[in-house]
Amino acid sequence: MHKKLFIPGPTEVRQEILKTQSKWMIGHRTKEFSELYHNCITKTKQVLNTNHHVMWFTSSGTGIMEGAIRNIVDGKILHCTSGAFGERWFNISKACGKDAASIGVEWGKAIKPKTIEAELEKGGYMAVAITQNETSTGVRQPIEEIAQMVHEKFPNVFILVDAVSGLMGDWFDIDKLGLDVVVASSQKAVALPPGLAVAIVSESALEKCRTVPGRGYYFDYDAMMKRYEKNYQTPTTPAVSLFYALDSELDYILEETMKRRYERHLEMAKFTRAWAKQHFALFAEPGYESVTLTSVKNTKGVNVNNLNAALGEKGMQISNGYGRLKEQTFRIAHMGDLMLADMKELAAAIEEILKL
Ligand SMILES: Cc1ncc(COP(=O)(O)O)c(C=O)c1O
């Protein structure tokens, strides 16, 4: 039985997209693949309104987070953490042997520019890493204010952004904010199956990577760009079927327009937040709620596993709280190609099951 996914990844994938993946295989060293990959790059730039370099890798989000660290970091990096994925990025830097420090806030809170500024002022940092949308807590960081502060006060510090669960649902202007590396993966607001991940890289970040020793092999931005500029291909074998899917989904997004896609996400978010406040409470700090998922404080002590099992019988699935927030919160994603009507259907189903 098909369960409609209201989980923050993998998200619901339209059947049309699923079918696109069953096209005949093509070689990745052919003109056909070059055309397909080039189209994906061009359309991604159009959707995101960016002139930065765009590279789609065959990887999950974690891989591309590691790639960003390997390519850019040759000194001290500051990780700003407000949940599990910020902490993961910090752990990745340490696992890569980097000189990494972290500042954190309590889960559920957003990390503010002032907190980051106070740490950067201590000096010696060459990069700062921020989770734009913390999927474990449903918090959206004030990325606009953070980027502005970093540029004004620390113009030489590179800004690395994990937008895994925000990109192509939520909106922030990558070029205007001067973000150096933004990473995301396919199975969240892009509404594709898992397996692809994108890095959006500024010119200065690309130049920087060329000077970083031991930047690794698989995620080497320089090698990726050289291959792209040579013949619109990738250095290693890409997940060709997923690129068919990406190409179709990008057409869909371009037709909807990113502006309307963002507005649709915001509309679903507002509906879900209002519903959650009516029956439970929100976990995220007021004013910093995620646009792509809502983390609901389980104020009624509902058994989330049982709720999900009952929802499953109605063909729907939500997420339990992440890690230590299990059963204390539950998460409802409103990302990708879901519509307001889907959110209303889910809310009604939960009300019926819990007799709210
Ligand atoms: C904000 C964020 N960063 C990173 C990741 C890790 O991505 P992946 O599971 O694709 O490796 C996730 C996954 O949920 C995420 O939500």
Which residues, other chains included, contact 82 with Cβ-Cβ below 8 Å and sequence gap of 6+? 104, 105, 106, 107, 109, 110, 111, 131, 134, 137, 139, 141
Q: Could you identify the atom of ligand 1 that is nearest to the CA of residue 135?
A: 16
Kindly state if the Cβ of 131 falls inside 6 Å of ligand 1.
yes
What is the DSSP code string of 248-268?
HHHHHHHHH-HHHHHHHHHHH
> What is the C-alpha separation between 35 and 26, in angstroms, rounded?
12
% of residues, the chain, pLDDT over 70? 100
**Span 63-84, mean pLDDT?**
98
Kindly state if the Cβ of 37 falls inside 6 Å of ligand 1.
no
| Phi, psi values for residue 182, rounded to 5° | -120, 130
For residue 92, give Cα distances in angstroms to 73, 97, 128.
12, 9, 14
- Cβ atoms of 297 and 281 within 8 Å: the answer is yes
Query: Which residue's C-alpha comes closest to atom 9 of ligand 1?
Result: 61
Digit-coded pLDDT (tens) for 307-327:
999 999 999 999 999 999 999
Kindly state if the Cβ of 183 falls inside 6 Å of ligand 1.
no
> What is the C-alpha separation between 167 and 335, in angstroms, rounded?
10
Digit-coded pLDDT (tens) for 171-197:
999 999 999 999 999 999 999 999 999
Digit-coded pLDDT (tens) for 80-110:
999 999 999 999 999 999 999 999 999 999 9
pLDDT score of 213: 92
How far, in Å, is the centroid of ligand 1 from the Cα of 332? 16
In the annotated binding site for substrate, the residues are 331
Kindly state if the Cβ of 285 falls inside 6 Å of ligand 1.
no
Q: Could you identify the atom of ligand 1 that is nearest to the CA of residue 166?
A: 1
Domain spans, the chain: 4-10+258-354, 23-255
- As assigned by CATH, the class of the 4-10+258-354 domain is alpha beta
How far, in Å, is the centroid of ligand 1 from the Cα of 85? 7
Instruction: Judge: domain 23-255, CATH 3.40.50.11540.
Output: no
